[in-house]
Amino acid sequence: MLTGRRLSARALLWVPAVTMSAMIVAVLIVLLDYSLGYVSVSADAGGSRFALYRALLSSSSFHRTIMETLWLAGIVTALCNVMGFPLARAILLTPSPSLRRSVLLGLFAVLMSGAVTRGYAWMLILDKRGLLNAALVALHCPPARLNNSMGAVVVTMTSVTLPFYVLTLFGALKNVTPEIERAAANLGATSWQRLRHVVLPLAAPGLVAANTVCFSLSLGAFLYPELLGGGRVRVLATAIYEDVQTAYDVPRAAAMSVLFLSVALLLRSLLAVSARWAGDGR
């Protein structure tokens, strides 16, 4: 009887997993069907079903779009590492439990706020007549052109992904107990040596996970490049949107989506290998 209940519980867990997997496979089949079985209005697909992919891979504008997308994801992830690791460590080492809980609740509150709300808030801050330029004028400094630029997108994306980074890394840093660091200090390790040889190796899987989250969110960014880029920031997500909504070129957009997914899966596989290596090296 107990075995039957266990099997029923496992079956209930498999139902949503199989359903979601089937939906993902169905979407991929539709994308492949559109990219291989239809004629693009912006690229000659005659002679070969893969001509559209060849046209994209040989397009300099597509190369620039990919590089701009990867650059945005890379710089946002790097900034999250620079700011997020010290912040996560500071939260962990805070002697006041109430202050620690307040900071964590604040990070959760940021995550719960709407994406559009945060986007428009940053538009108001970075606008030509926004809060930041008002502060510069009050300090007798010339106003800066901050909105409608890659810099505005980077700042906004960093503020959006930083809470994900900190909360992901915070759980991993909890494995580095104060007793471990005190033991290293008693053996003569300096602060830098404790960080390099004790804290970072133990937190390595969490670091890889946090970087994966930040990079994935930045790689697929659409809303913030669209709102704050002002048409000057062209990433893959906005390029796909423009092909569908402006050029009405669904086959080309589908082919770009397939290539985008391929790049994302390749990078995700590399990060998974890094996480396994980091876990084995502890």
Nearest residue to 42 (alpha-carbon basis) of 241, 247, 246, 242: 247
Distance between CA atoms of 177 and 203, rounded to whole angstroms? 11
Q: Say whether pLDDT at 178 is over 70.
A: yes
Record the tokens describing residue 271, joined without a space. 């990060």
2 falls in which pLDDT band (50, 70, 90)? very low
Number of CB atoms found within 10 A of residue 1's CB = 5
Q: Indicate the average pLDDT of the chain.
A: 82
Do residues 127 and 147 lie in contact, with contact meaning Cβ atoms separated by under 8 Å?
Answer: yes
Assess if residue 46 is contained within a domain: no
Section 199-211 average pLDDT = 85
Do residues 72 and 229 lie in contact, with contact meaning Cβ atoms separated by under 8 Å?
Answer: no
Q: Give the contacts of 73 (CB within 8 A, at least 6 positions apart).
A: 215, 218, 219, 221
Number of CB atoms found within 10 A of residue 253's CB = 22
pTM equals 0.81
Q: Between 259 and 176, whose confidence is greater?
A: 259
Helices (H), 174-249: 178-186, 191-194, 200-219, 223-228, 236-245
229/90 same-domain check: yes
69/144 same-domain check: yes
Assess if residue 44 is contained within a domain: no
162/112 same-domain check: yes
Q: What DSSP line would sit under 121-164, residue for residue?
A: HHHHHHSTTSHHHHHHHHTT------SSSHHHHHHHHHHHHHHH
Per-residue pLDDT, 5: 60
**9-13, 66-70, 201-205: least confident range:** 9-13
33/137 same-domain check: no
Tell me, what CATH number does 204's domain have? 1.10.3720.10
10/90 same-domain check: no
**What proportion of the chain, given as a percentage, has pLDDT over 70?**
88
242/116 same-domain check: yes
Across 94-98, 156-160, 173-177, the highest mean pLDDT is recorded for 156-160
Per-residue pLDDT, 110: 85
112/212 same-domain check: yes
75/212 same-domain check: yes
Identify the domain containing residue 30 by its residue range.
1-37
129/177 same-domain check: yes
Q: Give the contacts of 122 (CB within 8 A, at least 6 positions apart).
A: 152, 155, 156, 159, 224, 228
Q: Count the helix, strand and coil residues of the chain and give each as a percent rounded to the nearest 5.
A: 80, 0, 20
Q: How far is residue 198 CA from its own chain's centroid?
A: 27
119/194 same-domain check: yes
Q: Say whether pLDDT at 146 is over 50.
A: yes
Distance between CA atoms of 44 and 52, rounded to whole angstroms? 7
C-alpha distances (whole Å) from 228 to each of 15, 78, 225 are: 41, 20, 5
Three-class SS state of 214: helix
Per-residue pLDDT, 82: 95
Number of domains composing the chain = 2
